[in-house]
Structure 1
């Protein structure tokens, strides 16, 4: 079944340089969630406007486009659209409205397959939905019990809120157990004296392709966002009687929803326990610097920005001006940069050699 959507692209006048990158990423996420985009409606505003976030005239334009094209969903390109705005916009359009955060959560939900990833995604979804119950309760209360009274709608929402909070508590306990188990596995690896390399990067930068090459694995490679939710761990031989355990982790995007970051903290902790970080950037993209900044922001949030690392300028097979691009990366990244291609295998030999040297320097190589 085709899911048609209209995208509302909010342009902040103070961030005009990133306008194209924000839109490209939003389109990428929408298509990854299975939507066919009918039209992109742009609105330049420096701050939300009551009562619909954007102007009523622009909202009417969106409504007419949706009616003409059998659209059922409107995607607002902002994170955490307030419950008040969301309900008022939906009431005006008579359509489903989702923000960028909910869009990202939808993708994670679709790709969650293991018990661990399902727990983490459900927890993120519930934390996102909990504050959004209020608006629905007020609407229902006005219908059933009057503005100044605790009507049946409000009481029903309070009941639903208690159920959600109880479920959140249960999931958080399960997550603590998972976190503890990951810590136990990490200690076990340390006892075996096998170095651990965590592969980190923007979603679809080629992390799984590099992981497959280094570990001689054949995990499915997909260009869609967030296809890797569960960390994969495999041993990879680096030559000269040296090897390491490689971990393929969840990909990042700009402004990763806090609900997901918090819920997937146990998964991200794999990077915290690694001896070395392998940072991967898709150099065929126009916004390489922003991707590197996003990676650094996540590393800082995890407090591991000072860990030893190597940055792979990946997908150089798609470039003609390799030297220029690599030099631009070196200008902002204070560390070793290796141009690589998972297709032509260019740079893989240099990568293995650098991994041996880096891990030897850390006195962890076996």
Structure 2
């Protein structure tokens, strides 16, 4: 029987990288610190192809063992995903707990979860991660149970544990489905109330929670550490005297975000895909700004939010050579980039102005005549548009003034009567 060693806080960081995968070690160290580890030493190596048994070669394994002994490390953190057998073999060879990058991120999420939904999502991700370790990691579980009081229905201990694990995953999924239904009801209520939703997305530690707190006077936990925010938070924010929005703070993204997390947090991340506008927050002082933007765009595509209009908000301009707040527009005059400092409250008026312009620009005003034979279109307009006037004419038709989102303008295409071309788009 293989017993996993106890874990501690004194951690040895192993940073392997290949020719095609140059990882940033600073980010990995921040992950370790965010998890509560105390990095005492670092071992780096380069391999074109991982060793199937230990991921690293024999010589490098001896170097890691020497460093563990020399620095009295209680934990070895690998900046790469390990297979279950590699993790097991490394723990046997080093006699300390070994955690890969995926396990490290899962541990951070487990520490940050506060709400019932967040805890369920983390548990689901951990169970899915554990399922692979259960099947291929611990060989003692392949033995059949035996002895007085232990004889079962003829299945091995591994089969029993797999069945119990699958049962727990199904239970957690059912609970999450109920929570998702409640979340969907909230979305439908906001749509009926015609309140636009603005989602905050971005790389972890870009300053989303700081901006959220500054705009809404909320008290969401914000800190200079990775994944400080895990549970989504919604607050009303008046971007202008005549326009209120619901601001949604979401979990941050990171390179190689484990697929278990993306799947488990799909209902939470759907706050971004269902938003009317996204503010993509970017750390303006980050040297890897292009890489972080690409990673966020990749995750947005994975969750189906890549078609949502967005403004790139470059935060922390106080740490750059040009600390002046400003807006940048495209050829049509729409604001597409904003430079602000959420901590100092600089440029927030420009950001609010950009939000108003983008949300107003997505709405079209129309004066319509709907014949009595097309009452279904009138009913559809009551679902997707804001009705300003609705009067019945002498023939049983309707004269209507509506404000309709640009994305729903196709509802009007099947009208037999032409749309009044004198109607102007809202500014």
TM (norm. structure 1) is 0.89
CA distance in 1, matches of 2:186, 2:61: 52
Q: Does 1:138 align with 2:139?
A: yes
Q: How does 1:46-125 map to 2 (within 5 A)?
A: 46-79=48-81, 81-125=82-126
CA contact (8 A) 1:137 1:156 kept: no
Q: How does 1:3-82 map to 2 (within 5 A)?
A: 3-15=9-21, 18-19=22-23, 21=24, 23-79=25-81, 81-82=82-83
Secondary structure of the residue that 2:199 maps to in structure 1?
A: strand
| Map of 1:244 onto structure 2 | 245
The Cα offsets for residues 126-162 of structure 1, whole Å up to 9 and x where unpaired, read as 00011111334425558999xxxxxxxx922221111
The Cα offsets for residues 305-360 of structure 1, whole Å up to 9 and x where unpaired, read as 1211111000000111569xx99xx9xxx971111101332221110111111111
CA distance in 2, matches of 1:136, 1:239: 57
Q: What's the offset of the Cα at 1:86? A: 1.0
| Map of 1:150 onto structure 2 | none
Q: What's the offset of the Cα at 1:8? A: 1.0
Q: Does 1:186 align with 2:192?
A: no
| Map of 1:313 onto structure 2 | 314
Secondary structure of the residue that 1:13 maps to in structure 2?
A: coil
Q: Which runs of 5+ in 2 are unaligned?
A: 1-6, 147-154, 364-404, 406-425
CA distance in 2, matches of 1:243, 1:108: 32
Q: What's the offset of the Cα at 1:43? A: 1.1
CA distance in 1, matches of 2:142, 2:293: 48
Q: How does 1:351-362 map to 2 (within 5 A)?
A: 351-362=351-362
| Map of 1:167 onto structure 2 | 168
The Cα offsets for residues 216-237 of structure 1, whole Å up to 9 and x where unpaired, read as 2232311122222221111111
Provide closer, same or farther for how the CA distance between residues 236 and 49 of structure 1 changes in structure 2, counting only shifts above 3 A: same
Q: What's the offset of the Cα at 1:180? A: 1.5
Secondary structure of the residue that 1:351 maps to in structure 2?
A: helix
Q: Which has the higher contact order (CA 8 A, sep 6+)?
A: 1
| Map of 1:151 onto structure 2 | none
Provide closer, same or farther for how the CA distance between residues 88 and 359 of structure 1 changes in structure 2, counting only shifts above 3 A: same
CA distance in 2, matches of 1:74, 1:300: 33
CA distance in 2, matches of 1:123, 1:344: 38
CA distance in 2, matches of 1:303, 1:291: 18
CA contact (8 A) 1:311 1:335 kept: no
Provide closer, same or farther for how the CA distance between residues 141 and 168 of structure 1 changes in structure 2, counting only shifts above 3 A: closer
**CA-atom RMSD, angstroms?**
2.4
| Map of 1:148 onto structure 2 | none
Q: How does 1:172-321 map to 2 (within 5 A)?
A: 172-321=173-322
Mark the structure with the bigger radius of gyration.
2
CA distance in 2, matches of 1:99, 1:361: 46
Secondary structure of the residue that 2:44 maps to in structure 1?
A: strand
Secondary structure of the residue that 1:14 maps to in structure 2?
A: coil
Secondary structure of the residue that 1:8 maps to in structure 2?
A: strand
Q: What's the offset of the Cα at 1:61? A: 1.1
Secondary structure of the residue that 2:156 maps to in structure 1?
A: helix
Secondary structure of the residue that 1:296 maps to in structure 2?
A: helix
CA distance in 2, matches of 1:180, 1:143: 42
CA distance in 2, matches of 1:142, 1:90: 21
